[in-house]
Amino acid sequence: MITPRVPVHLSHSPTPSISAFAFLASLEAGVRGILLSVMPLAIYREVGDAALVSRLYFMVGIVSLIAGLLVPWGTRFVPRRWMMTFGASLYVAGAGLALAGGPTGLQLALMSNAVATITLWVCLNAYLLDYFVRSDIGRAESRRMFYSATMWTIGPVAGVWLLDVWYPAPFLVAGTFALGIIGAFWRLRLGDGKQIRKARGPAANPLAYLNRFMMQPRLIAGWTFAVVRSCGWWVIVVYLPIYCIESGLGDRLGGTVLSVINALLFSAPLILRWVQRASVRYAVRLGFAVACVMLLFASVAPLPWMAVAAVFAAGAALILLDVAGSLPFLMAVKPSERTEMAAVYSTFRDVSGFVTPGVAWLVLLAAPVTGVFAVCGLAMGATWALASRVHPRLGAIRQSAA
């Protein structure tokens, strides 16, 4: 008697949903959101000098830039699932180092968190490109922003409040979110990306495309917009809480203001509709103009609460730039170079991560924290002037010929 052979079915990880990716990103936002105002505040309490805080962030920015260049290279030798797990584990390690306290523990924690952020950013974007077609990526990004907005809104104010109630609390919460990232990632069974696919050649090397990038002024302008916008966020995240402490407004106000600013992320779909009705150039120039005026006013405001209100208005302008600021670059990239130029574009995070504290470090040697507001405002003004070169019809829907 011949026993019928039972067919063996190939099993593979199911394709994850957009909501699953958004949930994973929201857990990562939970770690960063809860520590966003806590880390600069805790470090400042230890060292008591804004210039020393700037020097530390400058060093961490350099490390983050190097890590950002090494992670794509490292994924060629380390399976992506383990690289992703390693990145989330660095968040856990950072929480443990911060719990140890002291200047050394906090400095190592900040560095560990910076490397964790860039590692997860590279891995998550690689998974996104693996599992979703181009038409779904925009929807995935929109869902990610919506899911993460709650964490970015609650995190800064909750983190500072927990820090005052019990020092270890925000770091324990951040560590719990980091463990949640590891658990959710393995639950999704993403593995190393698509398991059956044809190789398309070696991974894109951003350095190989720098020459082509430098030959396209529109791309340079778009990248500059992103760098200056990111510098503005660095100023608000790191130096607004320090200003609030030094001006006698308390150590909780900075985190509260940042949470309220982040709550404006929920209005991103409405802002995008307005940008589509107006124009990209108008939206970008308006954002940089408002940020410039408000930061310059904050640097000379006669009362501390007026300076904080001005920085809040500048933050609202940065939300507008978050929605519209990347469009001049993305719409100017040639279709054949999108992958490579996107890799070049991503360096704006690392560049702003060491340029901002580096410049602030020099400014604080001769001026108070308000001097940092002034320099950032001047940079916003220069970028406003540069944005005048954006094509007035960029992003507009073309009318079909009758």
Query: DSSP letters along 131-188, please?
Result: HS-HHHHHHHHHHHHHHHHHHHHHHHHHHHHHHHH-TTHHHHHHHHHHHHHHHHHHHH
Tokens 């990248």 belong to residue: 223
In degrees, to the nearest 5, what angle opens at C-alpha 98 toward C-alphas 56 and 185? Answer: 105
**Is the confidence at residue 141, as pLDDT, over 70?**
no
Query: What is the C-alpha separation between 375 and 356, in angstroms, rounded?
Result: 10
Domain with 269, as residue range(s), is: 206-393
Question: Does 240 map to a domain?
Answer: yes
Long-range contacts of 162-167 (CB under 8 A, 24+ apart): 162/34, 162/38, 163/38, 163/41, 163/42, 164/251, 164/252, 167/101
Mean pLDDT of 347-358: 88
Please give the residue that has the higher pLDDT: either 5 or 317.
Answer: 317
217 and 142 together in one domain: no
9-13, 91-95, 167-171, 267-271: segment of lowest average pLDDT: 9-13
pLDDT bracket for residue 243 (50, 70, 90): very high
Count the neighbouring beta carbons within 10 Å of the beta carbon of residue 72. 18
Query: What is the C-alpha separation between 39 and 193, in angstroms, rounded?
Result: 33
> What phi and psi values does residue 16 have, to the nearest 5 degrees?
-70, 155
182 and 294 together in one domain: no
- Rounded to two decimals, the pTM is 0.82
Contact partners, residue 164, CB within 8 Å, separation at least 6: 251, 252
Give per-residue pLDDT as tens, 49-87: 999 999 999 999 888 888 877 887 787 788 889 999 999
Mean pLDDT of 118-139: 74
For residue 171, the domain's CATH number is 1.20.1250.20
**Is the confidence at residue 280, as pLDDT, over 90?**
no
Question: Does 5 map to a domain?
Answer: no
Query: What is the C-alpha separation between 118 and 125, in angstroms, rounded?
Result: 11
Question: Does 105 map to a domain?
Answer: yes
Domain's final residue, options 146, 165, 194: 194
Mean pLDDT of 346-353: 84
Produce one character per residue of 160-194: b if its CB has 16 or more CB atoms within 10 Å, e if not.
Answer: bebbeeeeebbbbbbbebbbbbbebbeebebebbe
276 and 147 together in one domain: no
10-19, 99-108, 138-147, 241-250: segment of lowest average pLDDT: 10-19
Q: Which among 120, 127, 130, 125 is positioned nearest to 200, based on CA atoms?
A: 130
pLDDT bracket for residue 207 (50, 70, 90): low
Mean pLDDT of 328-349: 72
Domain total in the chain: 2
14-23, 175-184, 365-374, 380-389: segment of lowest average pLDDT: 14-23
23 and 168 together in one domain: yes
pLDDT given at position 206? 54
